[in-house]
């Protein structure tokens, strides 16, 4: 039973997520947090939810140092959407901003951008009303329209690996 250890684990996660100069620690912390998600209950929402802004910052740092680890770290939010959507809701605007930022950043690998677009798509499909209420539809459409209007470059790429093709 992990329940008795959650408070100390959450404190450890919080400390580890401040180690911005240690990308491996940031990545492993996000992975560890992801593994705990299925065991969370609604009583853990405040404590675990407080960690999410730091986890998003960790992903931003990982995007610079190791895109693959950033994508793996994003799986924390996948798990939260599957199990504990309520934890994500207060951070919806920030999470959408992160996904849109990655999606439109051409210097990132196409596979990274597509991963974040896929997550964005899932987020929109699961939290439609909240996104409308927060007036986030326009920023999403703006980024997607810009992607669809851009040429995709090499036609030999897999369609699913080109953000513009995925957006359209």
CB 25 within 8 A of CB 19: yes
CB 20 within 8 A of CB 64: no
- Alpha carbons within 13 angstroms on the beta-carbon side of residue 29 total 27
Q: Look up tokens 């996948």; give the residue.
A: 78
CA distance 47 to 21: 24
pLDDT band, very low/low/confident/very high, at 137 (cuts 50, 70, 90): confident
Give 9-34 pLDDT, tens digit per residue.
999 999 999 999 999 999 999 999 99
- Here the tokens at position 137 are 């539809």
Q: Which pLDDT score is estimated for 66?
A: 97
Residue 165 confidence (pLDDT) above 60: no
Q: Which pLDDT score is estimated for 159?
A: 46
Give 32-65 pLDDT, tens digit per residue.
999 999 999 888 889 999 999 999 999 999 999 9
CA distance 86 to 45: 7
What is this structure's pTM?
A: 0.84
CB 6 within 8 A of CB 50: no
């Amino acid at each position: 039973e992990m329940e008795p250890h959650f408070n100390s684990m959450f404190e450890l996660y919080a400390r580890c997520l401040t180690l911005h100069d240690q990308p491996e620690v940031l990545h492993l912390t996000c992975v560890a947090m992801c593994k705990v998600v299925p065991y969370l209950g609604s009583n853990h929402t405040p404590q675990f939810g407080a960690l999410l802004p730091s986890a998003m910052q960790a992903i931003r740092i990982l995007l610079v140092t190791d895109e693959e680890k950033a994508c793996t770290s994003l799986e924390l939010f996948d798990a939260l959407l599957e199990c504990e959507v309520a934890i994500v809701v207060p951070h919806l605007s920030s999470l959408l901003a992160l996904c849109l930022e990655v999606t439109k950043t051409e210097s990132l690998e196409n596979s990274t951008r597509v991963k974040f677009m896929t997550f964005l798509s899932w987020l929109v499909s699961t939290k439609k009303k909240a996104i409308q209420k927060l007036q986030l539809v326009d920023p999403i459409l703006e980024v997607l329209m810009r992607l669809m209007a851009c040429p995709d470059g090499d036609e030999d790429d897999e369609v699913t690996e080109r953000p513009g093709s995925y957006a359209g």
